[in-house]
Amino acid sequence: MSTIGEIARRAGVSRSTVSYVLSGNRPVAEETRRRIQAVIDETGYRPNASARALREGRTHTLGLVIPPAGDRLTGMQLDFVAAVVEAAARADLDVLLSPSGGDHERSFTRIVGGRRVDGVILMEVRLDDDRVARLQRSDLPFVTIGRTAHPDGTAWVDVDYEDLVARCVDHLADLGHRHVALVNRSAERLAAGYGPARRALAGFSAAITRRGLTGVDVCCGDDPAAGEACVEQLLAGAPEVTAIATVNEAALPGMRRALDAAGLVLPQDFSVTGVAARQPAEDFRPPLTAADVPVEEMGTQAVAQLRERIARPATPPGHRLYRPPISLRSSTGPAARRVS
C-alpha cells in the first residue's frame, strides 16, 4: 500500500509538499501539484481519515452519547443505536459511541471539546440536563433524542409520552376499567428527571383525574426480574387493579410471568397496554396493545437534523414530536368482574 513517503519519493518532492497537496493548506506550484497528482492516480493512493479530515475540516464522524457502559441497554435503546448507525452509514458517516454519566464524564468531555466528531446525538435526556447546557455553550452541533423541560432552543426528536400514556388510560377506561396502574421506569430515573418517566407520570395522573378512575403508579427497574417483582407487589397491594399501562418495555417479560403466576389470563381477566417499540409489542403474548415507538424513523430523523446543523449552523433547530396511534392488539379487553 502506498504511503505519503512513497508518493514523495516517486514524485521527487518532500513529504510536506505531498501533505500540502492533500490538505490544500498551502499553495504548491501547478507543475509540482500535477506531478504529485499523477503519482497518486497511478498508485491508487487514498488518504486516510485523518488526512481527509485535515483537508475538508471535518471528521465525517458523528458522536452518539449513550447511557453508561455499566447499565445494560434496553432493547429500545439498542434499537436507537442501530437506527442512528444505519442512517449515518447511508450518508457515508461513521459513528463514535461515547458513554455518559458516572465514571464516564471524561468521555463526554472529550467528545465535546476534542473535535473528534462533527456533531453529537445525545440519548436519554433529562428535563434539566447539564450535558445539553454544556453542548449549548460549545459550538458543536447537536441533536437530542428526547428533550429538556425548555427545549425551544435545541434540535430534538421525541415521543409524546404524556399524550400517549393518557391515551392508553382512555383506552382502558373506555373498556370499563376503573382501577388502573402505571408501571413506570425506575425510581432513580424518575428522581433524576428522566423525561419519558416524568412525562408518563404526568399523562397518567391527568387522565386518571379526567376519567374519574382510581390510579396507582409504581416504579420498576429496566429488566424482566424487576417487572416480575413489581407486578407481584402490585397485585398483592392493590388487588382491585384490573389493568396496567406501562412505558417500561424491558420489564414486559417479567410482568407477563407475574400475571401468569397469579392465574390471570389476558385479556379476559386483566389488560396490559403501553408505549413500546413495535417488535417487543408484537412478541408479547398475547400481542400488546401499544403505541408503537417509530425507532428507526426517529434515528433517521435525528441524523438528518444533525447533518443539517453541521452543514448550515445558522438554520433554526428542528423539532419532531411523535404521537403514533395505539395499535389495537390482543392484550386488552373489557374489565372483568372480580369475584370477592
What is the tens place of the pLDDT at every residue in 59-118?
A: 899 999 998 755 678 889 999 999 999 999 999 999 999 988 666 678 888 888 877 899
Determine the pLDDT at residue 3: 78
Residue listed under C-alpha cell 506550484: 29
pLDDT number for residue 340: 45
Higher pLDDT, 222 or 6: 222
Q: Which of 15-29, 154-168, 230-244, 266-280 has the lowest mean pLDDT?
A: 15-29
Helix (H/G/I), strand (E/B), else coil: 177: coil
pLDDT above 90 for 4: no
Q: Which of these ranges, 12-21, 67-76, 226-235, 251-260, has the smallest mean pLDDT?
A: 67-76
**Residue indicated by cell numbers 416504579:** 219
Give which of 229, 280, 292, 253 is closest to 75, Cα–Cα: 280
**Residues above pLDDT 90, as percent of the chain:** 72
**Whether the predicted pLDDT of 294 surpasses 80:** yes
Dist CA 233 CA 216 (whole Å): 12
Whether 316 shows a pLDDT value over 80: the answer reads: yes
DSSP string over 59-111: --EEEEEES-TTSPPPHHHHHHHHHHHHHHHHTT-EEEEEE-SGGGHHHHHHH
* Residue-level pLDDT at 222: 94
Give me the mean pLDDT over the 134-145 stretch.
Answer: 94
pLDDT band at 265 (very low <50, low <70, confident <90, very high): very high
Is the model's pLDDT at 201 over the cut of 70?
Answer: yes
Query: Residue 227, Cα to own-chain centre: how many angstroms?
Result: 22
Measured distance CA(291)–CA(274) in Å, rounded = 6
> In the predicted model, what is the mean pLDDT of residues 300-326?
95
The pLDDT of residue 17: 87
Q: Tell me the C-alpha distance between 170 and 183, whole Å.
A: 16
Nearest to 212 by CA among 172, 160, 247, 158: 172
335 band by pLDDT with thresholds 50, 70 and 90: very high
Query: How would DSSP label each residue in 241-308?
Result: --EEEE--GGGHHHHHHHHHHTTPPTTTT-EEEEEEEHHHHHHSSSPPEEEEE-HHHHHHHHHHHHHH
Using one digit for the tens of pLDDT, what is the confidence trace for 269-291? Answer: 999 999 999 999 999 999 999 99
For residues 77 and 124, the answer to whether their CB atoms sit within 8 Å is: yes
Q: Which residue has the higher pLDDT, 237 or 16?
A: 237
